[in-house]
Amino acid sequence: MNELNAIVDDAKASFAQATTPADLENIKARFLGKSGRMTELMKGMAALSVEEKKTRGAAINLAKQAIEGALNNRRQALADAELQVQLQAEALDVTLPGRQRGQGGLHPVSLTLERIEAIFGSMGFEVAQGPEIETDWFNFTALNTPEDHPARSMHDTFYVEGGSATAPNLLRTHTSPMQIRHAVQHVKHHRALLGGEQAKGELFSGDMPEIRVIAPGRTYRVDSDATHSPMFHQCEGLWVGENVSFKDLKFVFTDFCRTFFERDDLVLRFRPSFFPFTEPSAEIDIQFQSGPLAGRWLEVAGSGQVHPNVIRNMGLEPEKYIGFAFGMGPDRLTMLRYGVNDLRLFFDGDVRFLSQFQ
Ligand code: PHE
Nearest to 307 by CA among 272, 271, 276, 270: 276
Atom index in ligand 1 nearest the CA of residue 237 equals: 9
Which of 138, 152, 154, 174 most suits a substitution to test ligand 1, by most atoms within 8 Å of the C-beta? 174
Asked if 325 and 176 touch (Cβ cutoff 8 Å), the reply is yes
pLDDT for residue 1: 56
pLDDT for residue 358: 85
220 lines ligand 1 (CB under 6 A): no
Nearest CA to ligand 1 atom 4: 174
325 lines ligand 1 (CB under 6 A): yes
pLDDT in tens, 232-268: 999 999 999 999 999 999 999 999 999 999 999 999 9
Atom index in ligand 1 nearest the CA of residue 179 equals: 9
Sheet with strand 126-127: strands edge to edge: 126-127, 211-220, 231-241, 322-328, 298-306, 278-287, 267-275
The set of residues, in sequence order, having a beta carbon less than 8 Å from that of 269 and lying 6+ positions away, is: 284, 285, 286, 287, 297
Report the separation in Å between the CA atom of 217 and the middle of ligand 1, taken as the mean of its atom positions: 13
pLDDT for residue 100: 83
- Spans of the chain below 50 pLDDT: none
Report the separation in Å between the CA atom of 327 and the middle of ligand 1, taken as the mean of its atom positions: 4
Write the single-letter amino acid at 141. T
Q: Where are the domains of the chain?
A: 2-89, 108-357
pLDDT for residue 233: 97
Report the distance separating Cα 277 and Cα 149, nearest Å: 12
Report the separation in Å between the CA atom of 185 and the middle of ligand 1, taken as the mean of its atom positions: 21
CATH architecture for residues 108-357: 2-Layer Sandwich (3.30)
Atom index in ligand 1 nearest the CA of residue 328 equals: 5
CA torsion through residues 270, 212, 131, 254, sign:
positive
Nearest to 283 by CA among 268, 261, 264: 268
